[in-house]
Each structure stands twice: as C-alpha cells, then as structure tokens.
Chain A
Amino acid sequence: MIQEKLVCTTCACLCDDIEVEIEENRISKIRNACRKGSSLIYASQSDKRHASYLIYGQKVSQDEAVEKTSRLLNQAESPLLFGFDNSTLEAQSTAIELAEALGATIDDTSSFRQGELVQTILSNLNPTCSLDEAKDADLVIYWGSNPYHSHPRHLSHFSYYTHPKYEEAGWFPESRLISIEVRDTETTEICDKSFRFFRILPGEDPDFIASVLAIIEGKKGREDAGEFLKSIKSSSFCVIYAGPGLDYSLDGEYQTFNRMVNRLGECTRIAVIPMIDPYNMRGFNQLLFDKTGFVNRVNFANGASHGLEFSFLEQVRNNVPDCILIAGSDPLSSLPDSLVKNLGDITIITLDPFLTATTRISDVVLGIAVSGLETGGNAIRMDGTEISLNRVISTSIPGDEEIIRRLLDMVKR
C-alpha cells in the first residue's frame, strides 16, 4: 500500500490536502476529500467507466479514432471547440492552438456561467485576492451561492472557519458570515442566527445592488441594503464570493455590481472571488484572455474575433457549426433539452473519461484519462492561483492533452 497526496479536481477549490491509499494501482481510501470529490475519484475506477474509442458506437483503435477526428475537423466548414474546463492548462493551450490552426470557434461553459465576472476580474475592473489572503477576511459574503452543495469544503478549508483570530475554544462568531440568497440553505442557516441572512426575491439582485449604491450616494434605499452596507462598513476586510445565483440574476451584466464593489472599496478593503464550479474554468479563461483579451466566445477564422454569436448557445441555436469537438463537458445533460436537440444534426466528437449523455449521441468518442488523477499538469483555482496536479494512478490511456496534440499535428500537416 502506498500513500500519496492528491489535488482534488472535482471543483475549483482544488483542495490540495487529499491523501489517498493506493493498492495495486487502485485507490482504496481517500482522506479529507468531501463527498463530491470522493464520488468522482471512485467513479474514475468503476467498471462503468469507459476508456475506449468509438466511431458511430463501434469500438475502434486509438489511431483510427484520432484520424477520423482530424478528418472530420479538417472537412468542417465551421468547426466549434467547446469545453476544456475540466482539462489541464497544458491541454487547454493546445486546444486554443488547435482552434487557431482550424480557424475554428472556441468557447467554454463560462459562456453561460460567470464568464463575464471572470472577465471583469482579469481586466482589473473588480478587486480580488487569493484564497490564502482571504483567510484574513473578517467578513465573508456568499452571494447567490450555497457552498455546502457546490464546494463543500469552502467554509472549513478557505473561508469561515479559517480566520486566525477565531481559534477560541472551538467557538466561532456567526456575525462574520453574510449570505444573500433567495431560499433557505445550510449556509443561510448560519447567518440567520445573527440576522445576517439577506433573503431577497428571485431576480431582485439588481434592485438590491442599486439600493446599496443609492444609499452610498446619500439617497434612500431598501432597509436590507442599508443593513448590508453597515456590516461592510464595520468590517476591515470583506470578501464577496459571487455565485451562479448572482450571475443568472444579473444575466452577466456586472457594470452596476462593479460600481457597487468599487464604491464599497472606498470604505473598506474588499475583494471579489468567483465561485467557479469546473476545476479549471478559470485556467481556460486566463489563457484565452492572455491571447485575445476575451475569456470565451472567440472565433479564429480571421484573426481573433469575439462576440455573442460565438457562444456555444448561439452557435447551437442557429445550427452554425457542422462539427463540434467537446472536451470534458456534458452539455446534453446540463443544458435545456429544447436547445440541445439541435445537436442531433451536427457531427459531434467527444473527449471524456466517462460515458455521458453527450458521448451517447457522439459520432466519435475518445476515452481519455482523468486529469489530475491519471495525468499530471497544472490548473488555476477559482481565485487565480496556479496549482500543480499530482498524478497518482498510472494508465496507458492518454490524457486530453496528448490527444489534442496529435490532432493539432495532423491538422497542421
């Protein structure tokens, strides 16, 4: 039996204190990872896991599948590459190169979840900080996010329970935590006790933000917004963890939110960290941003152009692409049926370690290694910190980086 350290790649917390026991190249015990992380780690070695290459549902060799894929991509008039949020930085940058070589459109899930927020943070429109710095925050705000279900260890590992000052006999004051939510959750339960739970109506976030701004400017506003402002003013370092609830409510329009954050920054130290779900979405956003100035929705047909028309949603709705390469994402089970039914008419190639609803309708399936477990590499945590992943299981299955690199070589030829 060997003991190894592992970085959990199930969510963008990228917890790096996971200990695993390995017997005969199989994980037999996982310590410290939450239920979410453990279930994915164990799933990677379940019998249900496929690691084969399929063309129209028939098993083929790796070479055949890769060749077929490169042929399909080369023939395509308007190829689209989508996903890569569960890939390493190395695989992502190869994918971006592939998009350039093909003159293709490339997009990821940030396109319908928090992409705009990451864009504002990378463009320095919102102040931010690392999770390690955030441990010193004396006010923690979860806005439109219930970490207990999305990032289970967020409070115990990074935020609420980690403040150095609160080591008093196991006692933690509730008042350090604020939750802005539309319904009761495990997180709001903590805040409820100290009247720090701001329960708003669904879709009311813009109104709440406008009210906070109005009060800052000396005008009248909602009572709860006033209370919220008071709490922030009395803190010395406040971190807002912005979740998908806020994103959907604002529909990606962060201008007033940014204005509010920056005004609040005049009275206290403030930082915004996006509660990103896929482990390396931020990595993809960063790489594409460095190259093009945009975090997603980029087309390389004539240089790099960016626009809403290059979002996965718009591309699929308008039946634009004739071939889509999807890596590490399962749009068929996460997006509206009324939209993904269009995928039926498009050639689909999927790179995924698991069998998913999307692999089932794919023309070509390339089974890949689970990144972070069976391949090494690097990734960027939700706060922008780069973390290197530790490969603990050896396998002959290639990772997505290797497959994409092979495709790139073949496409270039």
Chain B
Amino acid sequence: MNPLGGEKSSPIPIVIITYKDLFLWAARYKSVSDVDYERRAAQISLSADDLKSLGIDDSAQVRLANEFGSIVVQAKLDPRCPKGFGFMPRSRLTNRLTNYDPTRAKNPNFKRIEVTVEPVS
C-alpha cells in the first residue's frame, strides 16, 4: 500500500497461460540465433488494468517469479486479455516457471502458471 498512490507498485499475482508459437517452434530448427529465439520467447501479453496497476507502459520489462524460478520478459498490452491473466508463448523460458503437481492436476500446469509480476526498473 503506497500512500503516494501508484508511484511504486508492489508485485501483483497473475496466472499465465502458454500457447504454441510457430515462429518460435521453427526457430528451434532453423539456424536462427538464440537472440531471435529469446526475443520471441521473452514476452507476455497483459491486460490494460494490470499494466496500470503495475504502473508501466506497453513494452516495459517485467519480472515473473514463483517458487520455481524467475524470468524477465517484455510486457505487451493485449486489450482483450482478461484481468489477472497473461498469455505467453511456450518456450524454454516458461519451463522455468511451470510445475507438475499431481495433487492439483494430472498434467503439468502449462496453462495455469501462478506467478507474481513486477516491473523491472
């Protein structure tokens, strides 16, 4: 809780849903540089509300973290993304945050990754 209001925001919880990106997939096989792979992989689409509560603009860097790991990616505005969710292409990066917990689901949580997100200054 910040008395000055919105200046410095605290991490907020979101749930990441990963999806398959063909360009990323093809990059694994085509001799493209790792830089290109990382650039395509390191992004998350967030809702306008969440960007606002984070006090950041489109294209800012954010840190996604949970008990399994943390990654830094670029936040992108998706006007139709529901609040509290984020969409990310599935990649080596998202593997650092996913988990398999049979008490919660039979499958790994590729489409239900709980993380906190905070701006990187």
Contacts and interface: CB of A to CB of B under 8 A. Distances in A.
B21 A149 contact: yes
Nearest to B94: A336
Give the residue among A313, A336, A357 with the most B Cβ atoms within 10 A: A336
Given A39-B26, A182-B17, A183-B87, A247 B98 contact: no
Nearest to A356: B28
Interface in A32-73: 35-36, 39-40, 42-43, 46, 48
B105 A251 contact: yes
Contacts of B110: 248
A112 B107 contact: yes
Contacts of A338: 68-69, 98-100
Question: Chain A interface residue count: which class?
Answer: 35 or more
Interface string A22-34: 0000000000000
B99 A336 contact: yes
Given A146-B20, A150-B20, A43 B30 contact: yes
A364 to B, nearest CB: 23
Interface in B64-112: 68-69, 78, 80-82, 85, 87, 92, 95-96, 98-100, 102, 105-112
Interface in B15-42: 15, 17, 19-23, 25-26, 29-31
Contacts of B111: 202-203, 245, 248-249
A163 interface: no
Contacts of B15: 202
Contacts of A245: 19, 111
B107 A252 contact: yes
Contacts of A247: 107
A202 B100 contact: no
Contacts of B82: 201-202
B17 A313 contact: no
B96 A337 contact: yes
A389 to B, nearest CB: 19
Interface string A258-299: 000000000000000000000000000000000000000000
A317 interface: yes
B19 A183 contact: yes
Contact of B106 (A183, A249, A251): A251
Interface in A319-352: 333-339
Given A202-B15, A251-B107, A317-B102, A184 B92 contact: no
B30 A42 contact: yes
A184 B77 CA distance: 13
A35 B26 contact: yes
A40 B31 CA distance: 11
A45 to B, nearest CB: 11
Give the residue among B30, B31, B78, B100 with the most A Cβ atoms within 10 A: B100
A314 interface: yes
A152 interface: yes
Interface string A190-208: 0000000001011100000
A410 interface: no
Contacts of A357: 92
A172 interface: no
A306 interface: no
A113 B29 contact: no
Contacts of A149: 19-22, 25
Nearest to B113: A336
B112 A202 contact: yes
Contacts of B30: 39, 42-43
A334 B26 CA distance: 15
Given A183-B81, A184-B80, A248-B112, 7 more contacts: A35-B22, A149-B21, A149-B22, A252-B107, A317-B100, A336-B95, A354-B29
Which A-B residue pairs are the 4 nearest by beta carbons? A43-B29, A336-B98, A149-B22, A39-B26
15 contacts: A35-B23, A36-B22, A39-B30, A40-B29, A42-B30, A112-B106, A149-B22, A152-B22, A183-B45, A202-B15, A202-B17, A202-B111, A248-B107, A336-B108, A338-B68
